[in-house]
Every structure is written in structure tokens, then in C-alpha cells.
Amino acid sequence: YIYVGLYGYDYLTAGRKVIGLFKERGWNAIIADNLVLRLLGIVCLAIGLLTGTCTFLAALLVEELESSGGWLGAGFTAGFIIGLVLSGIIMGLLSSAVDSIIVCFAEAPTEFMDSHPALAQEMQTAWSAAWPEEFRGVAIVSLGGGLGIV
């Protein structure tokens, strides 16, 4: 979807171009090892459990005040589902932002270095440490006033 938004390609062409970009850079392992999606899923689950626990406690309070039975499980389930859905929406936005950063960095690392040199260097260093073999395709170096890709 990133190439669709950036360049206006249709979905099939955009998918082929992004896969080709990552293959050209040798970043297949980076795509496969997308820990951000897993982390955001765990955060969604934790938010769902926390929301479910809060609604369980609210249902427990209502049950004690009104002496009506059977609302504890329903309260937890409703809170869990609401928390999971709402956090899933927010985490989906974050996941899309991370994917956009990865694709844009793969597409134009020198432009990133021109615009934000400190952030680009930090990203280069962190990715090189995490994926030393796969991240060999892009090395941003200073060329005495200019920048280059090795």
C-alpha cells in the first residue's frame, strides 16, 4: 500500500516493486522478521485484558449493589472485545507507519540522510547491528561534503 500512496501504482504493480526493492537490497529477512507486528499484537492483547478486567470489576460492583447474577463473564467479555478492537485500530495505524518508514528508507536512504542526518545515521547503526548480513545493501557514507551509497 505504500507504493500505491507514494507513486499511484495499482496494487499488483506496487506489490511487485516493493518485493523487488527488498530483494535488490537483500532485505528478505528484515521483512520476515517483522517484530513490530508481533509486539503490537501483544500490546493489543494486554489492552484487551486490562479493559476486560476493568469491566469485570465494574460488573462485580454492579452485581453486589443490585444482587443480579451472571454479569461477571459478560462484563469481562464485552470489555475485552471493546479493548481489543479499539487498540487494534490504533496499533494498525502504528504498524502502517512502521512499514512506511521501512519502505521509504529502503527506497531513498540518501534523501533521508540529507533531510535528517542524525536520525538516518541512528537508523543505519541500529539496523546494521540487528541484521549485519542483510543490511549490507545500504551504507550511507560521507564523501567530503556529499553523500553516497555503498
pLDDT digits 0-9 by tens, 105-137: 878 888 888 888 888 888 888 877 877 776 654
Polymer length in residues for the chain = 150
What lies within 8 Å, CB to CB, of 117 at 6+ separation is: none
Task: Rank 43-52, 96-105, 106-115 by mean pLDDT and report only the highest.
Answer: 43-52
The C-alpha cell that represents 13 in the structure block = 504493480
Residue labelled with grid coordinates 530483494: 23
Q: Does 42 score more than 90 pLDDT?
A: yes
**Angstrom distance (rounded) from CA 26 to CA 131:** 11
Report the C-alpha gap between 35 and 69 in whole angstroms. Answer: 43
The residue behind cell 503490537 is 40
Phi/psi zone of residue 147: left (φ > 0), alpha (ψ -120 to 50 degrees), beta? beta
Q: For position 7, what pLDDT does the model report?
A: 75
| pLDDT, tens digit (0-9, with 9 covering 90-100), for 17-35 | 887 887 777 776 666 666 7
Average pLDDT along the chain: 79
C-alpha dihedral sign at 100, 22, 10, 114: positive
